[in-house]
Structure 1
Amino acid sequence: MGSEVRNHHTFAGRTIVMLLALLTGTASLLAGSAGSGSGGTEHAPGIEPIRFNQDGGNWSGFVTVGRGFRSVSASWREPAVTCTSVNNRFAIWVGIDGYGSSTVQQTGVATACSSGAPIRQAWYEMVPDLPVYYANPVHPGDSMTAGVVRSGRTYTMTITNNTRKWTRKATAVADAADASAEIVVEPAAGSLPRFDVIRFTDVTVDGQKPGAAAFAIDATNSRGFETRTSPLSDGRFSVSYLHE
């Protein structure tokens, strides 16, 4: 896309100035999926194929950058959501890549308000392919766990609803950058619904709790910051809604 996004964020007494290059490119993919639990693979009513990978410019959460990331995982409870517009759309996800790279391997839960009420659906995505949505049920308060694991060029994206006892898993092959790992709350189309505080637990990157290399970011729009990300401590942090 060739444009640049600048995001200024004061966190833990420091000002982090981020220059985000929105890159284009291609990745060679061989994608497939297999899962356990009830339900097939489909698009939910009211959820169109939404891309959630805007290179950090509208992310909230924690990012670690480097080389050769092998895994990322986190757990959370699905928040209660209040729709303020039929355009409200956001996702909670974990992934490898996407921050300064043209590849993304991610899985999580998307919420859309196009029907007038929040519709939630688990999904995974291997950019540049479109996201794939699962039909398994997700409701507010459900305990979710998501992870992406890399072995060579093979990525396994797993999401589990611990409350409703289902798991879906997808495996794909890609020539990817493996240059970042992240746990993200991301609005799509710049329209964020109100949501209860999202509390992440059991956060790991390459099997370890993230340390000083992980940094927080928050989504912005023309009115300023949309969200607030708390400090990361012992594999835990939260993301709070400020405004749409």
Structure 2
Amino acid sequence: MHKFRTAAPTRAAAAALLALSCASLAGPAGAAAPSVEFGAHHFAQPLHGFSGDSNWGGYIAQGSFTSISGSWTMPQVTCNSSNDLYAPWIGIDGYGSQTVEQTGVQVDCSSGGPEYSGWYEMYPASPVYYNEPVDAGDVFTASVVDNGGGSYSLKLADTTKGWSKTTQSSLNASDASAEAVIESPTGSYPSFNEQDFSGITVDGQSFDAYNPQAIDSGPYTETALNGGSFSIIPG
């Protein structure tokens, strides 16, 4: 089994990747431009399998799915190094497929302290970041929906701050999995006490109905799934 990890790019490489992203990835009308301070980390190299530690942590179901929705609360984090980077997200695809349709929030420690931002990604295209404010303690709701014909709707809302973003995007994807997870593209997590997910539903049913697989990541593990809710805690 191969563990997929994305090495942290140099600042020059990140800038070059971001420039290419801005030139080649035209977002939908009204979408925010990618945020320059966060570079161009990919938040989901497809995960074909794992052995012990993984770059994804949480729950993944395999099957044929067209929608996922749910909520989470952003924890207060402590940066251990400037390489720390992590994101909670929900999405479709990525486990046993070469695409991922996803939306979430990231915490980036490259400036020396935690910086939060919302984003969506239609992998293998680069993530697109929202400019709206995000802080520890904020509650988020999100959804990813396959509308058919390669069209997807991705919604991320910060219910604490009162903002919401809905993006329409297209991708030739297979809808082969559904996931509610955390991820560190750099393989380096900041410290936090608890990351809560709640009300995760897939195709209108509780996530539990699909017997999703639990996967640990870095220093973190997940509690038992109960009614579409679980927590990520230090393992």
SS at match of 1:234: coil
**8 Å Cα contact 2:84/2:110 also seen in 1:** yes
* Matched residue, 2:17: none
Match of 2:108 among 83, 91, 112: 112
Matched, 1:49 2:40: yes
Q: Give yes or no for the alignment of 1:130 onto 2:126.
A: yes
* Higher relative strand content: 1
Question: 1:33 maps to what in 2?
Answer: 28
The separation in 1 between residues aligned to 2:25 and 2:125, in whole angstroms, is 10
May I ask how many residue pairs the two structures share in their alignment?
Answer: 208
| Identity between Structure 1 and Structure 2 (%) | 42
For 1:157, the equivalent position in structure 2 comes to 154
Does the CA-based 8 Å contact 1:44-1:121 persist in structure 2?
no
State the partner residue of 1:23: none
Give the secondary structure class of the aligned counterpart of 2:206: coil
**Cα offsets for 1:84-137 (capped at 9, x unmatched):** 000000111011001121101000001100000000100001111110000000
CA spacing shift, 1:30–1:66, aligned 2, 3 Å? farther
Indicate whether 1:96 and 2:89 are aligned: no
Deviation at 1:58?
1.1
Q: Does the CA contact (< 8 Å) of 1:30 and 1:172 recur in 2?
A: no
- Deviation at 1:34? 4.9
Aligned AA for 1:137? Answer: P
Cα distance in 1 between the residues matched to 2:26 and 2:67: 18
Match of 1:78 among 74, 81, 85: 74
Q: Which runs of 5+ in 2 are unaligned?
A: 5-23, 48-53
1:44 Cα deviation (Å)? Answer: 5.0
Tell me the distance in 2 between the aligned counterparts of 1:208 and 1:89.
Answer: 31
Question: Structure 1 stretches (4+) deviating beyond 6 angstroms?
Answer: none
| Kept after mapping to 1: 8 A contact 2:25/2:125 | no
1:215 matched to 2:208: no
TM-score scaled to structure 2, two decimals?
0.83
> Residues 118 and 91 (structure 1 numbering): CA distance in 2 closer, same or farther, change over 3 Å?
same
Partners of 1:30 and 1:175 in 2: how far apart?
A: 15
Match of 1:4 among 2, 5, 8: 2
Shift of 1:187: 1.1
State the alpha-carbon separation in 2 of the partners of residues 117 and 42 from structure 1: 20
Distance 1:145 1:232 in 2: 18
TM-score by length of 1: 0.80
Structure richer in helix, relative to its length: 2
- One-letter code aligned to 1:186: E
Residue equivalent to 1:20: none
